Amino acid sequence: MKKTLPIIAVSVVLLGLAFYVAAIAATTQDPANPGYGYHRMPAKGGPGLLMHYVRGNMAAQALSEITQVPVDTIRTKLKEEHLPAVLAEYNVDRKAFSEAMHAKVQDLLGKLVESSYLTADQRNRVLARMDQYAQRRALMKSLIDKAVTDGTITPDQAQMLQKGPR
């Protein structure tokens, strides 16, 4: 009787370990032959990846139109460096770039409405939200600039409040 309990306990542990190993073996997969089980997904997929490409291409086209530099050259620069660095390299004003991007978005939304991917109401909602964010950014910038001028906050604190380098 004294040996029966340890034998049962060891058997249960070994059986559990066997099920665990079997489950791990069933869920792992060969990276060269993806199938069911755990899938490594890219950081952005589907619509997110599409929007990433659309935004990048629109930015390259807008910069190309402003600087008269070929689009492929701009795309290569944007792959190597972040957008603010490329804007600084080509001495492009952020406001001019923003206006060019806004025009590109409006053009794209018009094409999507024409091809019935969006309704006119959906386009108007997108444009209204873009305008709302632009107004919010302008208001925040003016409030932060006023606070720095008044001495309420330091320039370092202002930089912390603003998104990204300004």
- Where do the structural domains in the chain lie, given as residue ranges? 1-29, 47-118
Q: What is the pLDDT of residues 10-23, one digit of tens each?
A: 555 555 555 555 55
> What 3 state SS string does the chain have?
CCCHHHHHHHHHHHHHHHHHHHHHHHHCCCCCCCCCCCCCCCCCCCHHHHHHHHHHHHHHHHHHHHHCCCHHHHHHHHHHCCHHHHHHHCCCCHHHHHHHHHHHHHHHHHHHHHCCCCCHHHHHHHHHHHHHHHHHHHHHHHHHHHHHHHCCCCHHHHHHHCCCCC
Q: Is the pLDDT of residue 133 over 50?
A: yes
Per-residue pLDDT tens over the stretch 137-151: 889 989 999 999 999
Mean of the per-residue pLDDT values for the chain?
80
